[in-house]
Amino acid sequence: MRRVVPLVALLVLAGCGSTPAPPPAGPGGVSGAVTVFAAASLTESFTKLGKDFEAANPGVKVTFNFGGSSALAQQLNQGAPADVFASAAPANMKQVTDTRTVTETPVTFARNRLQIAVPKGNPARITGLADFGRAELKIALCAEQVPCGAATKKVLQAAKVTGQPDTLEQDVKAVLTKVRLGEVDAALVYRTDVRSAGAEVEGITFAEADQAINDYPLAALAKAPNASGAKAFVDHVRSDKGRAVLAEAGFDGP
Amino acid sequence: MTRHVARRRPALLVVPALLGLAFLLVPLLGLLVRAPWARLPEQLFSPEIGAALQLSLLCATLATLICLVLGIPLAWLLARGDLPGRGLIRALVTVPLVLPPVVGGVALLLVLGRRGVIGQYLDEWFGISLPFTTAGVVLAEAFVALPFLVISVEGALRAGDGRLEEAAATLGASRWLTFRRVTLPSILPGVIAGAVLCWARALGEFGATITFAGNFPGRTTTMPLAVYLALETEPEAAIVLSLVLLLVSVAVLALLRDRWINGAT
């Protein structure tokens, strides 16, 4: 599905071709299609933001490509047509800004922090990070190569705990799945992931999470096929309404 | 006369054929072009790659052994056994061929996971938990690879001559002896071809492995998983790992080709 979205966007754009005259603008001054590449952890909140944006700008269609930030950055660097990029980590945004100029400096629009996720009822009686050193427990963590894994490493170091993970997953949603299915006793995921899992997963906050707060940068892309739409969407995400949606999903403000 | 006709190559066929060939080969050549040849030895002999390769070879071999033990009898049942609903059973056996491997991994997790339909009893009664273990990798690989063996062996059995078995039976051989001394040797090329395909498929397994067995260096990180994670931070290492897998696959298939030709003639 994720793969299909850029393809659809490509076809839509190919249809537009290089004809200079854009379709007439709606009442909000924005028109046409807006293509947003966003980190997988933004799936729920950005889908909601996109609906709000479409409602505020009749005739505008927002298309999302959700995926791992580094995969998205690679797609953008390979020339995938997009208007906006929302990354879960500054490093992945930098990969894009290094090769493909953005209209302005990316802004941090949200922050995320880790939480301990345990299956409903907390069967292994996890109370804090210290439990991650218990070898008899099944523990899932993010692999160090992906942003949530880098954050995991920082908090475990801050807590002076040597984690005893059974698996190092390739993205945070894969970690969450292992908790949802009850295959692991505990895991470290973002607070927003715990919230998105609903009643199946319980979250436990811990002090060391402050040591690894993850910034989410957002930027309109320079080669955006729909520059005005890109700018309007960025503004929408940063508006009070946008912040409220993000806060509801469990994000901290910038 | 016929030979002359066959030698003429109509452009209508040759052009798309060459395009097709290029479509398959150019991406592989891309790996060769972009490979960091200067740093290749250093990358190749890093302990991480060594561990992943070793684990991959071990797991693929064990998975193939499981497939041989289970697959040959299953193929025999499909080809020779007089069982009702054979068409449906054969279709079901080949489902993992077309099923996205991730779905296979999810299915394994739901059945053999710690809270799975069977897994919860394995855990409760025997303290066995398969996810996140090397055994889990072997199971995931065997699951996706078994149909290759079954199809291959069943084909050999169907093509084989049943009269030798009848003759053995009339000479007083038991069914087991007949199977062991007559049937099995006659289908050996098919079994070998199936085993090699099975092994190659197991070696390349990614989706079911990462879903069911997870990823932990030295225990469940096979080569394909290592490639995927390396791509996040070290694309060069990913290219090297991919080259190694490509090399092994080509070698295996080249070997298989010979076997097939030998088996056919």
Convert the pLDDT of each residue in A27-81 to its tens digit: 456 788 999 999 988 999 999 999 999 999 998 999 999 988 888 888 888 888 8
Find the chain A residues whose C-beta atoms sit closer than 8 A to any C-beta of B: 68, 70, 138, 140, 143, 145-146, 165-170, 174, 178, 181-183
Whether residue B43 is predicted with pLDDT greater than 80 in this model: the reply is: no
Q: Does the annotation list A31 as a binding residue?
A: no
B200 domain-assigned: yes
Q: What is the pLDDT of residue A28?
A: 53
Q: What is the mean pLDDT of residues B38-43?
A: 79
Tokens of B143: 């699951």
Query: Residue B199 — very low, low, confident or very high, per pLDDT cuts 50/70/90?
Result: very high
- Residue B34 located in a structural domain: no
Interface test with A, best of B103, B134, B220, B232 (most A CBs within 10 A): B232
Q: Which two tokens stand for residue B137?
A: 């990798």
Please give the structure tokens belonging to residue A215: 């910034």
Q: What are phi and psi of A67, to 5 degrees?
A: -175, 180
pLDDT over 90, % of chain B: 43
Q: Give the nearest partner residue to B210 out of A70, A165, A170, using CB atoms.
A: A170
Q: What are the start-end ranges of the H helices in chain A?
A: 4-16, 43-56, 69-77, 90-99, 147-158, 172-180, 191-196, 227-238, 240-248
Q: Taking residues B92-114, report their average pLDDT.
A: 90
Q: Are the beta carbons of B214 and A178 separated by less than 8 Å? A: yes
pTM for the full predicted model: 0.78
pLDDT in the model for residue B264: 45
pLDDT band at B47 (very low <50, low <70, confident <90, very high): confident
Instruction: Confirm whether B187 is domain-assigned.
Output: yes
Q: Phi and psi (nearest 5°) for B97?
A: -65, -40
Beta-carbon contacts of residue A229 (< 8 Å; ≥ 6 apart): A30, A31, A32, A33, A34, A60, A83
The pLDDT-based confidence of A145 (bands split at 50, 70, 90) is confident
* Average pLDDT, integer, range B20-30: 92
**Residue B67: inside a domain, yes or no?**
yes
Q: Is the pLDDT of residue A2 over 50?
A: no
What's the one-letter identity of residue B221? T
Asked if residue B95 belongs to a domain, the reply is yes
At residue A191 the predicted structure's pLDDT band, cuts being 50, 70 and 90, is: very high
Which residues span the domain enclosing B184?
44-264
| Torsion on CA atoms B146, B147, B148, B152, rounded to nearest 10 | 110
Across the range A85-92, mean pLDDT stands at 90
- Chain A contact present for B132, CB below 8 A: yes
pLDDT digits (tens, 9 = 90+) for B212-249: 999 999 899 999 999 888 877 777 888 888 888 888 88
User: Is pLDDT at B32 greater than 60 in this prediction?
Assistant: yes
**Cβ <8 Å between A138 and B230:** no
In a domain, residue B148? The reply is: yes
| Residues A78/A81/A86/A91 CA torsion (nearest 10 deg) | 20
Does B24 map to a domain?
A: no
Average pLDDT over residues B61-67: 97
A69 is in an annotated binding site: yes
Query: Is any Cβ of chain A less than 8 angstroms from the Cβ of B131?
Result: yes
**Is A41 known to sit in a ligand binding site?**
yes
Could you say which DSSP state residue A83 is in? Answer: S
Chain A nearest CA to B249, separation (Å): 25
> Higher model confidence: residue A105 or residue B7?
A105
Mean pLDDT taken over chain A: 85
CATH number assigned to the domain comprising residue B154: 1.10.3720.10
Residue B1 has pLDDT above 50, yes or no: no
The answer to whether B214 touches B220, Cβ cutoff 8 Å, is yes
Can you list the domains of chain A with their CATH numbers? 30-111+215-249 (3.40.190.10), 114-211 (3.40.190.10)
DSSP reduced 3-state for B132: coil
pLDDT, residue A7, reads 45
What angle, rounded to 10 degrees, do the helices at A43-56 and A227-238 form? 110
Q: Is residue B37 part of a domain?
A: no
B228 within 8 A of B206, measured Cβ to Cβ: yes
Of B109, B115, B215, the CB nearest to A143: B215
Query: Which carries the bigger pLDDT value, residue A244 or residue A21?
Result: A244
pLDDT of residue B260: 55
Cα A59 to Cα A51, A224, B71: the distances in Å are 12, 18, 57
- Residue A103, pLDDT score: 59
Mean pLDDT of A98-110: 77
Instruction: Determine the Cα–Cα distance for residues B259 and B256; give it in Å rounded to an integer.
Output: 5
Residue A103 to residue B31: CA distance in whole angstroms = 34
The residue-averaged pLDDT of A177-189 equals 93
Shortest distance, CA B202 to any CA of chain A (angstroms): 20
Structural domain total, chain B: 1
Q: ipTM of this predicted complex?
A: 0.75
Confidence of residue A130 (pLDDT cuts 50, 70, 90): very high
